[in-house]
């Protein structure tokens, strides 16, 4: 390889800039580089790219050889394992040399005709970068919402596609984290929006699909140490807003059938109290470190009494077993555990008649 000293290495200029936050001031001489559209920033990045190309020029053939070998080990025609949800089998597949996934489904049987929900290869035509995330099917299975980032900054625009006609709606949601959560009415969606400067997920908003009204902020996470997110419970009965930091969590919930009502607070945040919630039948199930449960434990609470004084142990804390998570099914409770370094899933019937 050529010596790097034979090329003029670009050096970023220093422009003093003071940042004041949390009662502390610090100087960042390179703050100017975060101005993505500034001509000086673009010029400097072009210099860096040119320097890299010059230094690496004698490895171009080797780079291609490595790339071709890695690509050659990738299975061209591949697909995910289908999963069934509400009468439809959903799966993702790839075709030949095409770069992007194709999202598909089949009704009731894997032998049924395939319906292509989204062919990202078609959508990505004309773009140097294209990423689809957060595909969400409406409760009536007629519409999908999907996030698109064609810049690479992980800021997504949510689009909508009618699965019956194939038409992509002109209705869009800008500046999101990529996903949107449908309420039960097939019209109301909740989504998270980032702070434009820090990219912290800071706001939860409500959008009415196909209705020309401004979106409404339903929650603002003001604490800069927390990020917020929204999703639907596995039971599909609740919309949940979570706020999370390193040492604390907080949740709010709302019936998916009444999306225009106010969210209710589950348990106020407390430092060093971590918890996550799931719904099944007439209880909330809670994975938490409450009462010093360093390995976490599983508790439950009634639907209408959610603060921690109403929580009761379901699976007590164990010093030798770390509880990683739970999954709730119609007949079974599945606990993901780690013991003696090994991960296992403990499957227990709700009537406690059997476990393995």
Domain coordinates of the chain in residue numbers?
4-71
Tokens describing residue 20: 């004041």
- Asked whether 156 and 133 are in contact (CB, 8 A), the reply is yes
Distances (CA, A) of 273 to 293, 314, 338: 10, 18, 21
Supply the pLDDT for residue 6.
67
Question: Low-confidence residues of the chain, pLDDT below 50?
Answer: 1-2, 4
pTM of the model: 0.83
Tokens describing residue 296: 């976490």
* Residue 278 DSSP SS3: strand
Distance CA 77, CA 89 (A): 19
């Amino acid at each position: 390889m050529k010596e790097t000293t034979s090329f003029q290495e670009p050096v970023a200029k220093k422009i003093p800039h003071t940042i004041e936050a949390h009662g502390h001031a610090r100087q960042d001489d390179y703050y100017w580089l975060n101005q993505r559209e500034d001509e000086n920033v673009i010029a400097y990045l072009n210099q860096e790219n040119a320097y890299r190309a010059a230094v690496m020029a004698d490895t171009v053939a080797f780079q291609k050889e490595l790339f071709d070998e890695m690509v050659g080990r990738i299975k061209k025609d591949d697909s995910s394992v289908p999963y069934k949800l509400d009468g439809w089998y959903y799966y993702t597949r790839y075709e030949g040399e095409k770069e992007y996934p194709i999202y598909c489904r089949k009704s009731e049987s894997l032998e049924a005709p395939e319906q292509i929900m989204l062919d990202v290869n078609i959508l990505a035509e004309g773009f140097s970068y294209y990423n689809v995330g957060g595909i969400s099917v409406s409760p009536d299975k007629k519409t999908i919402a999907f996030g698109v980032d064609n810049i690479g900054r992980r800021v997504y625009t949510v689009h909508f596609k009618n699965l019956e006609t194939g038409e992509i709606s002109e209705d869009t949601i800008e500046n999101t984290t990529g996903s949107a959560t449908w309420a039960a009415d097939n019209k109301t969606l909740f989504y998270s929006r980032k702070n434009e400067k820090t990219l912290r997920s800071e706001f939860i908003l409500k959008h009415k699909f196909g209705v020309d009204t401004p979106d409404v902020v339903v929650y603002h996470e003001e604490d800069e140490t927390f990020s917020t997110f929204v999703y639907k419970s596995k039971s599909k009965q609740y919309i949940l807003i979570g706020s999370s930091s390193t040492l604390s969590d907080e949740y709010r919930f709302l019936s998916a059938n009444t999306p225009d009502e106010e969210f209710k607070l589950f348990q106020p945040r407390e430092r060093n109290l971590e918890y996550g919630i799931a719904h099944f039948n007439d209880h909330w199930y809670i994975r938490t470190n409450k009462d010093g449960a360093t390995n976490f434990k599983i508790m439950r609470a009634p639907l209408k009494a959610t603060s921690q004084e109403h929580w009761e142990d379901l699976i007590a804390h164990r010093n030798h077993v770390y509880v990683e998570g739970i999954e709730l099914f119609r007949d079974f409770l599945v606990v993901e555990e780690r013991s003696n370094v090994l991960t296992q899933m403990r499957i227990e019937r709700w009537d406690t008649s059997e476990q393995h």
